[in-house]
Amino acid sequence: MTDAALRAPGAPVRAELSLWRRFLHRPLGVTALAVLLLVVLTGLFAPLLAPHDPNLVDFTLTQAPPGAEHLMGGDSAGRDIFSRLLYGARTTVYGAAIACLVGVGIGVPAGVAAGYFGGAADRICSWISDAVQSVPGMIVLLIVAAGTGADFTVLMVTVGVFMTPGYYRISRSRALAVRREPYVDAARVAGLTHARILHAHMLRAVHAPVIIQSALTAGVAMGMQTGLQFLGVGTASAPDWGQMMNDGFRTMGTHPLILLWPSLALGITIAALAFIGSTLADLVSVRTEPARRRRTAPAGRHAVDAETPASSGALVHTVERSALRIDNLRVTYATAHGDKEVVRGVCLDVAPGEVLGIVGESGSGKSQTMFSALDLLSQDGRSSADGIWIGGREAGGLSRAERHALLGTRVGYVPQEPMSNLDPCYTIGHQLVEPLRAVHKLTKAQARDRAREVLLRVGITDPDRVMASYPHHVSGGMAQRVLIAGAVAGKPDLLVADEPTTALDVTVQAEVLELLRELQQEYGMALVIVTHNFGVVADICDRVVVMKDGRIIESGTVGQIFAEPADPYTAELIHASQDDSESRDDLDAAWHEAGQKVHT
C-alpha cells in the first residue's frame, strides 16, 4: 500500500489548504492574524525598531508624559516605555512559543498513542494527565523559580508541561475517532507497522485541532508568564510586560499611562489569539454547507430532475411519510484543478417499508448521494441541498452531534468490503456491544443479549464463539453478516446497504440478499441498496433509480424499468448485468418475473 493510498482517506493536504482559504474569507480571523503577526514581527525586530536602549535610565524622563522623542513617555525609573514595550513583545512571544512547543511535543504524541493503542497505555497516560491537572500550577512555578534562580526558559518549559493535558485530550479524542475508520483497519490488515499508521494517519488527523489548541494555549501562557513577571519572578535586566504592569500598578493613582500601555498590548495580543482559535474552531466544525432554498432550477439541469414529484417517481411521498427524502442535492470535491461537482441536483424519496435500488456505474454519484445523507463525506467534499429528511425530520440543518444522534438511532448502514470495516484490534462482540451501550443506552448485559439475538437472526448459529472472535477469525460472508447484524441491532427505520455483495462469491451474495429482504420485511424497515448490478435489483428491489454522471436519468418500478428502459444507458446496464451473471437462466427468470409486474 503506497503512502498516497494511506493518506487519501484521511485529512489530505488539499483539505488543509481548503481550511486556509476559508480562513482568509473570515474578516475577523484575518484581522486577528494580522495583529498577531504584527506583535511577533515587532518582537523579532525590536532592536531595529526601538528608538532607545530599553534599560537606559534618564532621570529627567521619570514618569514623563508622552512626547515627540518618547512616544509613550517614561516609567518610574526613567526608562523609555515604548522601547521597553517593543522588547517586551519579544520576551512574551518567546515564552509563549516555548510553552506551546513543550505542550505539543509531549501532549500530542502521548494523546495519539493513547487513543490508538488504548488499553494500559490509555489508562496510564490519562492518569498522568489528570494528575498534572490537579497540581496547583502557580505554586509549582514559584518553587521552580526559587530553585533555578528564576530562569525564564525553565519557567516557560514548566508552563508548557501544565499545558500538556489540553493537547493530550484533543489528540486522544481525535485518535479514538480516526482509529475506527475503515482505512485504518485496512492498513492494519495489510500488515503495516504501528509506527507507519501513527505517522501516516493519526498525526495528520490532529493537525487542525492542535493548531486551534495552540492559539488558545499561547494566550494562556502569555497570561501566566505576565503574572509571574508581575510578581517579580524573572530577570530585571530583561524588559517584559509583567514588570511594566507592576511598575504601572504602583503608580496607577498618579501616572495611569504607565500601566495602560503594557496592559493594552497584552490584552490585544491575547484577544487576537482567542479570535484566531475561535475562527479556526468554527471552520473545522462545519463539514457541509448550510441548506439553501433555490427558487428556480439551475440552467442545464437534466430533464428528469425538472419533472414534478408525481411524474418522476422520485418524490412520491410527503416528508412526514418518508423514511428518507433528498431534495436537490449537490456534492462538490476540491481538486488540484478546482472544484468538481460529482452529484448534480439529485432528488429521491424512500417510503417506509420500501426497497429502493440506486444503480449506476462507478463514479455515477450513487454512493456520494448516500454518503451525503449519512454525513460520511470526506473532508475535501462538501454538500448542499434544499433539504434532507430522515424519518420526517429535517437533518441537513442539524448540528453534527444532533445529526449523528439521529442517524445512530434511525438509520442502519451496511458498508461494502466487510473485512475492511471491522476493527481487527477488537473482538466482534465488543464492536457489536459498544454502539448499543453508547447510542441506545443499554446496559452491558442487555447489549450482549441483543447482540446474540441479532447474530442468531442473521444466520450465525454459534454467536458466543463469533462474539469472542476477532474479524480475521471469520470468513468474508460471516463478516458481512456481522455488519448486517450491527446495522439492524438498533432496530432502525431505514437500512442503507452500499454494494453489500461486491466482495462476496455468487452463493454468498444470494444468501446475503435473501437475508436483507427477510430482515426488511420482518422489521418493516425501508431499505436502500446501492449497487452497479441490475441482477441485485431484480432479486430484491421494489423501485429503482438509475444514475449517471451525478444525475438521475431514470426512475420507476423494477417491472417498468426492466420491461421498457427509457434511456439507452439503463438498457446497457441491464445487458451488462446479464452478460456478467454466473447464472443467466436464473437472471432471465427474475427479469421475466419483474416484467410481469407491469401487467399486475
pLDDT tens, 354-407?
A: 999 999 888 888 888 988 888 777 767 888 888 888 888 888 777 766 777 777
Residue 545 has pLDDT above 70, yes or no: yes
Tell me, which fold does domain 72-284 have in CATH? MetI-like fold (1.10.3720)
Residue 174 has pLDDT above 60, yes or no: yes
For residue 548, the cross-strand partners are 551
- Whether the pLDDT of residue 3 is over 70: the answer is no
CA distance 305 to 98: 58
pLDDT of 291: 36
**What residue spans define the domains of the chain?**
72-284, 319-410+492-585
Instruction: Say if CB 356 and CB 540 are below 8 A apart.
Output: no
Residue 101 has pLDDT above 90, yes or no: yes
Cell 526608562 identifies what position?
A: 79
| Residue 189, pLDDT score | 34
Quickly tell me which residue has 514559584 as its cell: 142
| pLDDT given for residue 440 in this prediction | 80
pLDDT at 499: 84
* Predicted local confidence at residue 223, as pLDDT: 87
Residue-level pLDDT at 20 = 72
pLDDT of 127 reads: 92
3-class SS shares of the chain: helix, strand, coil, % to 5: 60, 10, 30
Q: Rounded distance, CA 20 to CA 457, Å?
A: 49
What's the fold here for domain 319-410+492-585?
Rossmann fold (3.40.50)
Three-state SS for 413?
Answer: strand
Gap between the Cα atoms of 303 and 173, Å rounded: 46
Grid cell listed for 39? 506583535
Q: What is the pLDDT of residues 554-570, one digit of tens each?
A: 988 888 888 888 888 88
- For 301, which DSSP code? -
Q: Is the pLDDT assigned to residue 265 strictly greater than 70? A: yes
Angle at 37 between CA 33 and CA 43, to 5 degrees: 150
pLDDT at 91 over 50: yes
Higher-pLDDT residue of 332 and 305 is 332
Which amino acid, 325?
R
Whose cell is 477469525? That residue is 473
H/E run at residue 343: strand 338-350
Same topology between domain 72-284 and domain 319-410+492-585? no
Nearest CA among 518, 512, 180, 500 for reference residue 367: 500
Does residue 313 register a pLDDT over 80? no
Task: Read off the pTM.
Answer: 0.49
d(CA 592, CA 594): 5
8-state DSSP, 305? G
d(CA 388, CA 365): 17
Select from 210, 408, 398 the least CA-distant residue to 288.
398
